[in-house]
A = this chain, B = another copy of it.
Amino acid sequence: MKIPEVTVARLARYLYHLRCLEERGIESVSSHEIAFGTGVNSNLVRKDLSYFGGFGKRGVGYDVSNLKRQIMKILDFTKSWPVIVVGAGKLGAAVCSCPDLRERGFQVVGVFDNNLRRVKRSLAGVKILPMKNLPEVVEQYEVKIGIVTVPKMALPEVVELMKNSGINRILTFGWCPYSASEKALVRNVDFVTELEKLVFKGKDFSCQFIR
């Protein structure tokens, strides 16, 4: 069956919420409660979960820790993923020190930058290395995921280097043209686009309120 792209993003959101519930000692939850906690319609919560088989009990709801475990299995987060970060500027520092990264199953195993003033300093406990060391770290930790926080001018070059080192899933900040290829998945997050959407939403009265 074809799983909607957006379902995956929502599963991550449910997982996030389930962790909160578990911390608060809550053992059972209904689709309605998940819906309320995540801002998603309860029908959709059930639909999303049903793509992977039912995890709940009719008339009862879902077992929090079981559902959490199941979603972790679906999203492939039963172990944590090693990632590298290229670019040790302000953004790179912000990314590396984001607690969510670790909490949600990623581990920064390498930070790279060609700015010599940054090299050898540390970021979130990981020593900053020059770019030429990238391939060996990728090989050593079998890294498949790379995050690029360099200025957009340097972006294509870094993406290319990552691909050639065996990294096949790349996240860039700011948009990277011509980046899709058969060698790697490249995704961009761009907060300025989100701002632009907000400006437009404000104009367009017909869709004034999100969700």
Contacts and interface: CB of A to CB of B under 8 A. Distances in A.
Q: Quickly give the copy total for this chain.
A: 2
Contact of A199 (B77, B90, B94): B77
Interface of A: 2-3, 5, 8-9, 12-13, 16-17, 37-39, 74-77, 81, 83, 89-91, 93-95, 97-101, 104-106, 144-145, 147, 151-152, 168-171, 173-175, 177-182, 185-187, 189-204, 206-211
B200 A76 contact: yes
Contact of A193 (B13, B99, B182): B13
A196 to B, nearest CB: 4
A179 B37 CA distance: 11
Given A100-B174, A100-B192, A104-B196, 19 more contacts: A3-B204, A8-B200, A9-B197, A12-B192, A12-B193, A77-B199, A90-B91, A90-B97, A91-B91, A91-B94, A98-B191, A100-B152, A101-B192, A104-B192, A145-B198, A147-B191, A180-B210, A187-B210, A189-B194
B186 A210 contact: yes
A121 B9 CA distance: 38
A156 to B, nearest CB: 13
